[in-house]
C-alpha cells in the first residue's frame, strides 16, 4: 500500500533511468543494458558479438537488494509452465503393490491396521451421517468420500503436538487424534454436549485438547493463521509444527498467497497440505488456475514442495512425515499437493452429477479407490482379513447408531449460550438484550423452539 | 497538571487538552511531556518488556514505522519479536490471529486504516468469532490491531478515512480510539492486555501535534468507560479521537455565548458506555454527536438512535449530528468535508435554541 510519508520518487527515478539506458544504444552501456535490437541476429558477426556479450554478461551481476542477479543479453520470456508436468510421488500402485525402488517411510503392522481401521470408521461415519441428514434429522452434512486416505494418512504421520488448522474436509485428522464418534455426532446435532455449543452448522468440529482448531466456513482463512501458530511454536522452541489443510479452490484466495508468502519470509514451521480434489463445488481445476496444479506455486514463494498421490496412503504418510521433519527441524514451511478426488458431492446441499460426468466419479470411486488400494496392501501383508473388516464395519455402525440416539435425545444448549463467549465477559448491551429477549419469550413462547432450555 | 488549554492552542489548532482525571496507580512524579506517537511507543515498549510472549509486527515496523511509533523497539527487543511483515493486510491479521490463538499478545500494525479492508474478512469472520464459534475452546483475545486513522490535512482518499463504523457492526471485537497521548498509552496497554481482539484506531493527526504530561510507568485505562472531559448543563456533545479537540474548541466558542456544553469522550465504541451518555443527556436534554466519518451509517447514528430510545421524553431538541459528508474523503475539498468547529458551534446554537 502506498504511503504518503515514504515517497516512491527515488525508486521511480531509478526505474526511469533503467528504461532510458535500456532503450539507448550507447556503447558505454551496451554490455550492462543491451539494446533491444533484433538486427544484430542478422549477421554471423553480430551473433559472435552477442556470444561474446553473453560471456561478458555472465561475469557481471546487478547487486540488487535480495541478492545478486546475473545478466543476459538474450530476451527470453519465462513460459507459463513447463511442458512436462511435475510428477506425482507414489509408493503403492493401483493394485496396492509396492512400486519397485520407491522410497518411503516404514509403517508398522500396528500403525497400518490403525490407519486402515480409521479409514473404515471415517467411511462409515460419512455413510451413516449422510443418511441421517437425508432423513432430515440433521441440517447439513459433508462427506470426505474419496479423501479418506489423505485425511488419515496425513494425520498418522504427525505428532499429537502438531497444531492442526483444518479447512472442513479433514474430520479424519480429528478422528485419528481420538475425537470420539459420539462427539462428532453431538456436534452435528448441535446439542448441549457439542463443544461449539450449537452455534455452528454440522461438521464444524474443533478440539482444544486435540490441538485441532475449530472449523470455520470461510475458505483459506486458516492458512495465514497457521503461519502465526507456527511462528509461536518456533519462538517457544517447541519440536512441533503447524499443519493446515485446504482444497484446490482455496489456492485462488488471497489468504493462500498471504500464507505462503508469510510462511516463507517468517521461516515458519508450517506444513500446507492442499487436497487437490479436482473440484471446488462445481468449478473444475482448469477453471480455477492455469498453473501446473498447486505444487509449482510453492517454488515462486520460496517454499519446498512435493506432489503426492493423495490416494496412496504410504505416499501421503511418507511425504507428510518427512515434511513435518523438515518443518520442525529446519524451521521452514513445506507445501504438499495431494492429488485426490472428491468422490462425494460437495455437501448435502449439492448434486455434483449436474456438473461432472458420472463416469468420472465412478472411475475414482472404483478403479482409483484410495481405501481399497491401502486395504490390498494391508491384506497382502497378512495384517487384515475379511472377518476383521466385517466386524469393524458392524461395530462402528452400531456405535454410530447408539451415538445418534444419545445425541438426538440430548438437550439443546441453554439460552445463555446465545450470549456468552461473544467476549470473555458479557457486556452490558448483551445483558440488556438477554433480559428483553426473555420477556418476549415469556410473552410469546410459541414463537420459539421448545427444546432450548431457558 | 496542565491548565486546560495551556500548551495546546499555541502548538496547533488540533492540539488537545489533557484529561481532568488522574488514573489510580500512576505516579505524579513520573510525568513526562510526550506526543501521542511517543506515548504509543512507550506503551508498546512496556507491553514488550512486561510480557515475553508479546510481539509487534506489520509493514515497515522494524525500522520504526512510517509514523515512527515503533521506533527503537526492534533494537531493544530483537527482530524476532518486533518485525516487518510482507505488504499484505489479510496476512498480517491472519498471522496475528494464529499467534494470539497460541497464547501470545499479537500487536499488529496496519499502516493506515484506509488499507485495513483486505483484512476485513480475517477481522470480521475470524477474529471476532474465534471464541464464540469454538464454544470458548479457542480465542484470539491477545490480538490488538493498531491503525492510524482520520484526516491529516493532505491525505486525500486513501490516507484520511475513519472506517470505525464498519467494525462497530461486528460482535466479538472491541473498537477503541484515544484522544490524547496519556489516553493513548493507557488505553493501548489495556487493549493489548484485554482478552478480546481489539481494533485500536490512532488519530494520526495528533501523533505529533498533541503533547501531554504522560505518566512514565505502566498504567491502564478502563475500556468501555466513557469520560466526561468537560462538565456542562445545556447540551451534551459526544465524540472520540481527534474530533474531540475540534469539539472542545466549539464548546469554548459556545461558552462565550453563554451556552454550557458537556463534552464526553466515548473512548470505546463497542461495547460502548451508554449509561454515561444517557445520564448526561438526561441532565442537559440535548445531544450532539460528531465524527469525521461520513454521516450516513456512521457510529453517530447508533448513538443518536440509542439515546432517543432511552431519553425521548427528556430531549428538548432533535439530536444533532455533525459529521463528514457522504462523499469519498476529498483532497482539495477537505476543509469543506470536515465537521469543523463552526459547523459544530452553529449546531450547538440551533439545538439549544430549538
User: What band does B148 get if pLDDT is binned at 50, 70 and 90?
Assistant: very high
Range of the structural domain that residue B157 is part of: 14-215
- Looking at residue B221, its pLDDT comes to 98
pLDDT tens readout for residues B317-338: 999 999 999 999 999 999 999 9
Comparing CB atoms, the residue among A3, A196, A223 nearest residue B134 is: A196
Q: Looking at beta carbons, which residues of chain B come within 8 Å of A3?
A: 60, 66, 111-112, 159
Do residue A225 and residue B94 have CB atoms under 8 angstroms apart? yes
B106 touches chain A (CB under 8 A): yes
Out of A159, A217, A282, A349, pick the active-site residue: A217
Comparing CB atoms, the residue among B90, B133, B155 nearest residue A200 is: B133
Task: Identify whether B5 is part of a domain.
Answer: no
Cβ-Cβ contacts under 8 Å between A and B: the total is 174
Looking only at the bridges linking them, the beta strands covering A270-276 and A334-339 are parallel
Per the annotation, the verdict on A80 as an active-site residue is no
B212's grid cell: 501531554
Q: What is the 3-state secondary structure (H, E, C) of chain A?
A: CCCCCCCCHHHHHHHHHHHHHHHCCCHHHHCCCCCCCHHHHHCHHHHHHHHHHHHHHHCCEEEECCEEEECCCCCCCCCCCCCCCCCCECCECCCCCECCCCCCCCCCHHHHHHHHHHHHHHHHHHHHHHHHHHCCCCCCCCCCCCCHHHHHHHHHCCCCCCEEECCCCCHHHHHHCCCCHHHHHHHHHCCCCCCCCCCCCCCCCCECCCCECCCCCCCCCHHHHHHHHHHHHHHCCCCCCEEEEEECHHHHCHHHHHHHHHHHHHCCCEEEEEEECCEECCEEHHHCCCCCCCHHHHHHHCCEEEEEECCCHHHHHHHHHHHHHHHHHHCCCEEEEEECCCCCCCCCCCCHHHCCCHHHHHHHHHCCCHHHHHHHHHHHCCCCCHHHHHHHHHHHHHHHHHHHHHHHHCCCCCCHHHHCCCCCCCCHHHHHHHHHHHHHHHHCHHHCCCCCCC
Mutate to test the interface with B, among A179, A203, A252, A258 (most CBs of B within 10 A): A258
- Whether B92 and B186 share a structural domain: yes
- Whether B239 and B202 share a structural domain: no
Do residue B102 and residue A3 have CB atoms under 8 angstroms apart? no
Comparing CB atoms, the residue among A213, A233, A421 nearest residue B132 is: A421
Query: What is the number of domains present in chain B?
Result: 2
Mean pLDDT by 10 residues, chain A (454 residues): 39 36 38 39 52 62 92 89 87 95 96 98 98 97 97 98 98 98 98 98 98 98 98 98 98 98 98 97 96 96 98 98 98 98 95 95 95 97 97 98 98 98 98 98 97 95
Residue of B nearest to A208 (CA): B137
A247: phi then psi, degrees, rounded to nearest 5: -105, 180
- Looking at residue A20, its pLDDT comes to 35
- Looking at residue B8, its pLDDT comes to 39
A366's grid cell: 472404483
Mutate to test the interface with A, among B37, B126, B132 (most CBs of A within 10 A): B132
- Looking at residue A26, its pLDDT comes to 39
Cβ atoms B30, B217 nearer than 8 A: yes
Residue of higher predicted confidence among A39 and B89: B89
CA distance B162 to chain A (A): 17
- Alpha-carbon span B352 to A25, nearest angstrom: 76
Window 163-192 of A: residues touching B by CB (8 A cutoff) are 163, 165
CATH number for position B102? 3.40.50.970
CA distance A41 to chain B (A): 42
Task: Identify whether B4 is part of a domain.
Answer: no
- Looking at residue B317, its pLDDT comes to 98
pLDDT tens readout for residues B234-269: 999 999 999 999 999 999 999 999 999 999 999 999
Per the annotation, the verdict on A54 as an active-site residue is no
- Looking at residue A47, its pLDDT comes to 55
- Whether B137 and B240 share a structural domain: no
- Whether B207 and B326 share a structural domain: no
Window 75-94 of B: residues touching A by CB (8 A cutoff) are 80-81, 83, 85-91, 93-94
Mean pLDDT of B153-162: 97
Last residue of a domain, one of B163, B180, B215: B215
CATH number for position B249? 3.40.50.920
Distances in Å between the alpha carbon of A143 and those of A26, A312, B93?
66, 19, 31
- Looking at residue B4, its pLDDT comes to 35
CA distance A251 to chain B (A): 14
A137's grid cell: 434429522
B59 touches chain A (CB under 8 A): yes
Task: Identify whether B1 is part of a domain.
Answer: no
A149 touches chain B (CB under 8 A): no
User: What band does B23 get if pLDDT is binned at 50, 70 and 90?
Assistant: very low
* Catalytically annotated residues of B: 89, 159
- Whether B196 and B292 share a structural domain: no
- Whether B208 and B270 share a structural domain: no
Cβ neighbours of residue A260 closer than 8 Å, sequence gap 6 or more: A223, A272, A297, A298, A301, A303, A333, A335
Task: Identify whether B6 is part of a domain.
Answer: no
- Alpha-carbon span A153 to A146, nearest angstrom: 13
Q: Tell me, what's the ipTM?
A: 0.92
Last residue of a domain, one of B155, B185, B215: B215
- Looking at residue B236, its pLDDT comes to 98
Task: Identify whether B8 is part of a domain.
Answer: no
- Whether B247 and B304 share a structural domain: yes
- Whether B127 and B21 share a structural domain: yes
How large a percentage of chain B has pLDDT more than 90?
Answer: 92
Q: Looking at beta carbons, which residues of chain B come within 8 Å of A262?
A: 85-86, 88, 91, 94-95
Q: Looking at beta carbons, which residues of chain A come within 8 Å of B60?
A: 3, 6
Cβ atoms B4, B17 nearer than 8 A: yes
- Whether B277 and B199 share a structural domain: no
Do residue B89 and residue A420 have CB atoms under 8 angstroms apart? no
B235: phi then psi, degrees, rounded to nearest 5: -155, 145
Burial B174-192 (b: 16+ CB within 10 A, else e): bbbbbbbbbbbbbbbbbbb
- Looking at residue B36, its pLDDT comes to 98
**Residue A320 CA to chain centroid, in angstroms?**
12
- Whether B288 and B152 share a structural domain: no
Q: Looking at beta carbons, which residues of chain A come within 8 Å of B64?
A: none
Mutate to test the interface with A, among B134, B168, B309, B310 (most CBs of A within 10 A): B134
- Looking at residue A56, its pLDDT comes to 59
Cβ neighbours of residue A121 closer than 8 Å, sequence gap 6 or more: A175, A181, A392, A396
A197 touches chain B (CB under 8 A): yes
Per the annotation, the verdict on A131 as an active-site residue is yes
Lowest-confidence pick of A224-233, B5-14, B67-76, B314-323: B5-14
Look at residue B7 and tell me whether its pLDDT is greater than 80.
Answer: no
- Alpha-carbon span A5 to B159, nearest angstrom: 10
- Distance linking the first and last C-alpha atoms of chain A: 50
Task: Identify whether B143 is part of a domain.
Answer: yes
Q: Looking at beta carbons, which residues of chain A come within 8 Å of B272?
A: 429
Task: Identify whether B3 is part of a domain.
Answer: no
Q: Looking at beta carbons, which residues of chain B come within 8 Å of A223?
A: 94
- Whether B192 and B254 share a structural domain: no
Task: Identify whether B80 is part of a domain.
Answer: yes
CA distance A186 to chain B (A): 13
- Whether B39 and B160 share a structural domain: yes
Q: Looking at beta carbons, which residues of chain B come within 8 Å of A254?
A: 88, 90, 118
Last residue of a domain, one of B184, B215, B246: B215
Comparing CB atoms, the residue among A266, A422, A424 nearest residue B171 is: A422
Window 124-143 of B: residues touching A by CB (8 A cutoff) are 125-126, 129, 131-139, 141
Amino acid at each position: 500500500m502506498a504511503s504518503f510519508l515514504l515517497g516512491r520518487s527515488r525508486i521511480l527515478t531509478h526505474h526511469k533511468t533503467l528504461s532510458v539506458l535500456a532503450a539507448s544504444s550507447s556503447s558505454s552501456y551496451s554490455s550492462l543494458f543491451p539494446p533491444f535490437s533484433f538486427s544484430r541476429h542478422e549477421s554471423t558477426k553480430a551473433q559472435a558479438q552477442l556470444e561474446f556479450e553473453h560471456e561478458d554478461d555472465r561475469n557481471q551481476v546487478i547487486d540488487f537488494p535480495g541478492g545478486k542477479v546475473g545478466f543476459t543479453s538474450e530476451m527470453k520470456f519465462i513460459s507459463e509452465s513447463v511442458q512436462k508436468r511435475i510428477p506425482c510421488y507414489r509408493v503403492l500402485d493401483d493394485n496396492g503393490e509396492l512400486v519397485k525402488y520407491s522410497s518411503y517411510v516404514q509403517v508398522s503392522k500396528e500403525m497400518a491396521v490403525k490407519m486402515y481401521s480409521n479409514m473404515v470408521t471415517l467411511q462409515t461415519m460419512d455413510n451413516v451421517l449422510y443418511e441421517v441428514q437425508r432423513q432430515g434429522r440433521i441440517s447439513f452434512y459433508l462427506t470426505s468420500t474419496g479423501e479418506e486416505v489423505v485425511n488419515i494418512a496425513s494425520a498418522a504421520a504427525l505428532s499429537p503436538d502438531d497444531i492442526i488448522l483444518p479447512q472442513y474436509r479433514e474430520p479424519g485428522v480429528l478422528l485419528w487424534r481420538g475425537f470420539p464418534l459420539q462427539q462428532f455426532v453431538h456436534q452435528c446435532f448441535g446439542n448441549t454436549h457439542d463443544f461449539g455449543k450449537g452455534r455452528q452448522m454440522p461438521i464444524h468440529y474443533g478440539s482444544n485438547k486435540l490441538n485441532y482448531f475449530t472449523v470455520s466456513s470461510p475458505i483459506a482463512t486458516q492458512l495465514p493463521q497457521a503461519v502465526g501458530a507456527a511462528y509461536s511454536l518456533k519462538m517457544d522452541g517447541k519440536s512441533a509444527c503447524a499443519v493446515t489443510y485446504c482444497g484446490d479452490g482455496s489456492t485462488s484466495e488471497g489468504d493462500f498467497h498471504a500464507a505462503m508468502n508469510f510462511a516463507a519470509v517468517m521461516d515458519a514451521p508450517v506444513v500446507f497440505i492442499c487436497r487437490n480434489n479436482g473440484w471446488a463445488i462445481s468449478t473444475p481445476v482448469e477453471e480455477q488456475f492455469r498453473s501446473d496444479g498447486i505444487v509449482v506455486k510453492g517454488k515462486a514463494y520460496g517454499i519446498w514442495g512435493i506432489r503426492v498421490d493423495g490416494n496412496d496412503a504410504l505416499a501421503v504418510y511418507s511425504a507428510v512425515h518427512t515434511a513435518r521433519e523438515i518443518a520442525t527441524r529446519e524451521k521452514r514451511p513445506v507445501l504438499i499437493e495431494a492429488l485426490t478426488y472428491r468422490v462425494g458431492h460437495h455437501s448435502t446441499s449439492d448434486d455434483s452429477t449436474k456438473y461432472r460426468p458420472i463416469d468420472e466419479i465412478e472411475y475414482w470411486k472404483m478403479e482409483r479407490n484410495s481405501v481399497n488400494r491401502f486395504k490390498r496392501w494391508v491384506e497382502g501383508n497378512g495384517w487384515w482379513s475379511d472377518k476383521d473388516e466385517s466386524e469393524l464395519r458392524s461395530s462402528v455402525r452400531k456405535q454410530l447408531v447408539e451415538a445418534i440416539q444419545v445425541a438426538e435425545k440430548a438437550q439443546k444448549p441453554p439460552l445463555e449460550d446465545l450470549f456468552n463467549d461473544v467476549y470473555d465477559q458479557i457486556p452490558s448491551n448483551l445483558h440488556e438484550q438477554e433480559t428483553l429477549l426473555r420477556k418476549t419469550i415469556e410473552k410469546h413462547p410459541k414463537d420459539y423452539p421448545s427444546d432450548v432450555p431457558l | 497538571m496542565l491548565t486546560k488549554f495551556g500548551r495546546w492552542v499555541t502548538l496547533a489548532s488540533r492540539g488537545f487538552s489533557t484529561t481532568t482525571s488522574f488514573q489510580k496507580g500512576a505516579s505524579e512524579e513520573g510525568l513526562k511531556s510526550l506526543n501521542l506517537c511517543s506515548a504509543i511507543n512507550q506503551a508498546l515498549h512496556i507491553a514488550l518488556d512486561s510480557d515475553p510472549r508479546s510481539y509487534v509486527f506489520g509493514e515497515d515496523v522494524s525500522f520504526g514505522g512510517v509514523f515512527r511509533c515503533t521506533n527503537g523497539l526492534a533494537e531493544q527487543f530483537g527482530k524476532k519479536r518486533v518485525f516487518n511483515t510482507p505488504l499484505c493486510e489479510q496476512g498480517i491479521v491472519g498471522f496475528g490471529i494464529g499467534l494470539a490463538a497460541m497464547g501470545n499478545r499479537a500487536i499488529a500494525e496496519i499502516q493506515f486504516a484506509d488499507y485495513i479492508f483486505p483484512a476485513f474478512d480475517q477481522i470480521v469472520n475470524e477474529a471476532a468469532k474465534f471464541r464464540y464459534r469454538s464454544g470458548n475452546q479457542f480465542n484470539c483475545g491477545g490480538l490488538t490491531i493498531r491503525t492510524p486513522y482520520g484526516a491529516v490535512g493532505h491525505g486525500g482518499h486513501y490516507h484520511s478515512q475513519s472506517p470505525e463504523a464498519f467494525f462497530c457492526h461486528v460482535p466479538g471485537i472491541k473498537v477503541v480510539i484515544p484522544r490524547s497521548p496519556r489516553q493513548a498509552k493507557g488505553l493501548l496497554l489495556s487493549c493489548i492486555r484485554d482478552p478480546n481482539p481489539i481494533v485500536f484506531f490512532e488519530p494520526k493527526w495528533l501523533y505529533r501535534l498533541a503533547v501531554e504530561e504522560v505518566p512514565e510507568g505502566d498504567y491502564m485505562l478502563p475500556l468501555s468507560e466513557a469520560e466526561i472531559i468537560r462538565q456542562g448543563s445545556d447540551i451534551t456533545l459526544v465524540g472520540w479521537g481527534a474530533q474531540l479537540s475540534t469539539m472542545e474548541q466549539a464548546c469554548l466558542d459556545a461558552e462565550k455565548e453563554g451556552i454550557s456544553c458537556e463534552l464526553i469522550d466515548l473512548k470505546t465504541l463497542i461495547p460502548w458506555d451508554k449509561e454515561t451518555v444517557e445520564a448526561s443527556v438526561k441532565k442537559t436534554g440535548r445531544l450532539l454527536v460528531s465524527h469525521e466519518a461520513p454521516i450516513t451509517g456512521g457510529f453517530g447514528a447508533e448513538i443518536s438512535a440509542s439515546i432517543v430510545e432511552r431519553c425521548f421524553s427528556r430531549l428538548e431538541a432533535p439530536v444533532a449530528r455533525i459529521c463528514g459528508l457522504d462523499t469519498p474523503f476529498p483532497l482539495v475539498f477537505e476543509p469543506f468535508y470536515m465537521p469543523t468547529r463552526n459547523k459544530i458551534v452553529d449546531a450547538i446554537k440551533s439545538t439549544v435554541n430549538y
